[in-house]
Amino acid sequence: MNDATRALPRLGKIGYGGDYTPEQWPEPVWHEDVRLMREAGVNLVSVGIFAWALMEPAPGEFDFGWLDRVVGLLHDAGIAVDLATPTAAPPAWFFRRHPDARQVTREGHVLGGGARHAFCPSSRAYREAATGIATQLARRYGDHPAVALWHVHNEYGWASTPCYCEASAAAFREWLRQRYGTLDTLNEAWGTTFWGQRYGDWEEIHPPRLAPPGVNPAQQLDYVRFTSEEYLACFRAERDALHQLAPGVPVTTNFMVPNCKWMDYWRWAAEVDVVSNDHYLQAELADNHIELAMAADLTRSVAGGRPWLLMEHSTSAVNWQPRNIAKTPGEMRRNSLAHIARGADSALFFQWRASRFGSEKFHSAMLPHGGTGTQIWRDVVRLGADLSNLDELVGTRVVPDLGIVWDWESWWALELEWRPSVDLGYLERLSAYYERAWRAHRTVDFVRPDSDLSAYPMVLVPSLYLMSAQAAANLAGYVRDGGTVVVSYFSGIVDETETVHPGGHPGALRELLGLSVEEFLPLRAGSCVRLDGDLTADVWTERVVLAGAEPVRRYLDGPAAGEPAVTRHRLGRGTAWYISTRLGGSDLDAVLADAGLVPRDGVPDGVELVRRASDSASYLIAINHTERDAELTASGKELLTGAPCHGVLPLPAGDVRVLRAAS
Ligand code: GAL
């Protein structure tokens, strides 16, 4: 391990702690907090996230006395600080002074106060004020030995509608000038001959505000790109101020992978010193630990495989889901360790101590309303002890088995209005394919469509609707060199400007797949089709015309009866598979197995198995999500119990084991 591979060099161990809001409590409670943090093994807390109004009670008047005392107390107790710029919650005085900095919805409503995040990312006043408070913090705490990390803002894009105000419109025009250079190029890219939308002056262009249905999809797509970039510009402004005044302290901002649809985290990840993510379990989702694993794998992937920080998750229920289901015994521990298994170097929570007031008072915490006499507290103390046995994992890297292509732009484009079926969904397909890999105990790296794929024997490409010619060439090159791709329907249809690739669907992929799609044949709600081999599919079928590919399974009924449903095309030294309909569960397993994705031998169903490794050691993290005891074949030293293991690793129901493998 060296510093370059650790998520947080100053900490040097697995981070444990959470969001800490001393500003909500009288000072004597802070002393109790720090004592209990030590008892639980807490070593890192995030401070100040929403405390702008306390740091700067009036414009230009600062009060850092309370924060000095908090940071000092934590430092004396050996607890590192992830110090936040509080810019997700501008003070009431800011909006009074700058009413134009409020966000405006697509319908034209101006967002009110009393919450957080209501600012416009293109507002000059907001950017100046945010950079101003970040600068104050950097000056005051930049060389404080407690400060291990800067936590800029909180979950950019969380409120997540783009802003449609006049300042945003002006910034959008400027962004478009940079992107297209001339109006002719923009008119061409946006296809403005359609419905006579041609622009003759930049001032005629507006954000895609509420309008009769069918607003130009290229304009809408560009507005999402622009919004992601505007928030990123806010981040960069704060980050640069911090870097300048406090060099050496890494800067992060907490992502919401994959639940914030509107930020292109491939681009964001390139701008942070360390990637961090917030993840909340979807309590009512069956087998929700698979969605957790997908989020963790995607976070590690945007981090380029480097270790990352789990900035927030919950000890038990949240407060914002329709039914806030409490975690079952052992679930928090499995969740935290699953993130660690998939490359996190920390397990941090929202929040340290439950708030008594405000809109999150029913949210779980490390220290619940019931205090230290509770099961949650006992579990928190136990997890702290567990993590202290895992410090040697810090900086090690997850070993992947296959790649799945993930692309935010394609997600945005696929889910614009007026698609061939309302049943098309990006996350639905990504999750369906990911789940099959998870159930086969195979670890997934998510990859960009244009990234180097040569490390993976197989790459899955679910519903990559928008695809550049360059990405298509990249996939084809990968297959020619011996790779296997599995492409699902409605992929390779349009280019970056939402223009259909020429020559018939799927324009970007016809050559690679050895076929064309003559017509989309979406199905009626609730209807199914049958395929060879006793498979059932729904939602979508196509009229596939072969041009080099061989049929592997055909439709037995439905609008494409008798025609190819699943095909295989050998190209160069590799193979390109195509699945033209929606398969799930064991039906999808059957096709993926034909393509080479088979379950790992000797691992029982419901057991999650991931490997992290460094140059000198290899670790197996096994999580039993079932109610049955299991065992694995392995040897080494088990780190949570300290027990040596010779050949058989027992994995009790609901439990976790971390094995340093015998070399
Ligand atoms: C996160 C947010 C936290 C808190 C938490 C509740 O999205 O960053 O501040 O609101 O949700 O689950």
Alpha carbon 352 to its chain's center: 23
Distance of CA 379 to the CA centre of its chain: 27
Question: How many residues appear in the chain?
Answer: 663
Nearest atom in ligand 1 to 318's CA:
12
The overall average pLDDT reported for the chain is 97
Quote the crossing angle between the two packed helices 217-245 and 166-180, to the nearest 10°.
90
pLDDT in tens, 364-405: 999 999 999 999 999 999 999 999 999 999 999 999 999 999
Kindly give the distance from the C-alpha atom of residue 632 to the centroid of ligand 1, in angstroms, as a whole number: 37
Closest CA to 87 of 111, 44, 121: 121
Confidence of residue 3 (pLDDT cuts 50, 70, 90): low
Would you state the pLDDT for residue 159? 78
- 576: its two tokens: 């390109």
Fold adopted by 15-163+227-395? TIM Barrel (3.20.20)
Confidence check: pLDDT of 228 > 50: yes
For residue 1, what pLDDT is reported? 39
What pLDDT does 160 receive?
Answer: 64
Res 4: pLDDT: 54
Q: At 90, give phi and psi (nearest 5°).
A: -60, 145
Band (196; pLDDT cuts 50, 70, 90): very high
Q: Which atom of ligand 1 is nearest the CA belonging to 154?
A: 8
Q: Write out the H or E segment, with its range, that includes residue 470.
A: helix 469-480
pLDDT per position as a tens digit, 322-338? 999 999 999 999 999 99
Beta-carbon contacts of 536 under 8 Å, excluding residues fewer than 6 positions away, are 528, 529, 530, 587
With 70 as the cut, is the pLDDT of residue 307 above it?
A: yes
pTM above 0.95, yes or no: yes
Query: What sign does the dihedral 284-287-293-295 (CA atoms) show?
Result: negative
Q: Name residue, tokens 């050895």.
A: 514
Does residue 349's CB lie within 6 angstroms of at least one atom of ligand 1? Answer: no
Element (H, E) at 408: helix 408-414
Asked if 415 and 425 count as a contact pair (C-beta separation under 8 A), the reply is yes
Contacts of 477 (CB under 8 A, 6+ apart): none
Q: What percentage of the chain reaches a pLDDT higher than 90?
A: 97
Catalytic residues: 155, 312
**What are the CB-based long-range contacts (under 8 Å, 24+) for 637-646?**
637/662, 639/389, 639/390, 639/392, 640/386, 640/389, 640/390, 642/389
Q: Sign of dihedral through CA atoms 330, 336, 342, 343?
A: negative
C-alpha 421 to ligand 1 mean position (Å): 34
DSSP H helices in 419-459: 426-439
Residues 613-647 have pLDDT tens digits of: 999 999 999 999 999 999 999 999 999 999 999 99
What is the CA(280)–ligand 1 centre distance, in A? Answer: 9
Query: What pLDDT, on a 0 to 100 scale, did the predictor assign at position 37?
Result: 98
Residue boundaries of the structural domains of the chain: 15-163+227-395, 167-217, 402-595, 607-661
- The residue whose CA has the least distance to atom 11 of ligand 1 is 350
CA of 524 to the centre of ligand 1 (A): 39
Q: Is 238's C-beta closer than 6 angstroms to any atom of ligand 1?
A: no
Integer Rg of the chain from CA: 26
Q: Compute the average pLDDT of residues 341-349.
A: 98
Q: Is 318 in the pocket of ligand 1 (CB under 6 A)?
A: yes
pLDDT of residue 191 exceeding 60, the answer is yes
Q: With a cut of 50, say whether residue 152 has pLDDT above it.
A: yes
Per-residue pLDDT, averaged over 447-457, amounts to 97
Query: What percent of the chain is predicted at pLDDT more than 70?
Result: 99
Q: Is 279 in the pocket of ligand 1 (CB under 6 A)?
A: no
What is the pLDDT at residue 510? 98
Question: Which residue has its alpha carbon closest to ligand 1 atom 12?
Answer: 318
**pLDDT tens readout for residues 477-529:** 999 999 999 999 999 999 999 999 999 999 999 999 999 999 999 999 999 99
Class of the CATH-defined domain 402-595: alpha beta
What pLDDT is recorded for position 5? 64
Residue 496 near ligand 1, beta carbon < 6 Å? no
* Cβ of 313 below 6 Å from ligand 1: no
548: left (phi over 0), alpha (psi -120 to 50) or beta: left
Strand-pairing partners, residue 554, are 564
Helix (H, G, I), strand (E, B) or coil at 570: strand
The H or E element containing residue 552 is: strand 550-554
Residue nearest atom 3 of ligand 1, based on CA coordinates? 350
DSSP string, 491-505: -S-B-TTS-BPTTSB
The CATH fold assigned to 607-661 is Immunoglobulin-like (2.60.40)
The Å distance, Cα 21 to ligand 1 centre, comes to: 13
DSSP 111-177: P-SSSS--B-TT-HHHHHHHHHHHHHHHHHHTT-TTEEEEEESSSTTSS-PPP-SHHHHHHHHHHHH
Q: Is the CB of 155 under 6 A from ligand 1?
A: yes
Whole-number Å distance between alpha carbons of 535 and 525: 18
pLDDT mean over 161-180: 97
φ, ψ (nearest 5 deg) of residue 613: -145, 155
Phi, psi of 16 (to 5 degrees): -140, 125
DSSP letters of 309-353?
EEEE--SS--SSSSS-PPPPTTHHHHHHHHHHHTTEEEEEES-SB
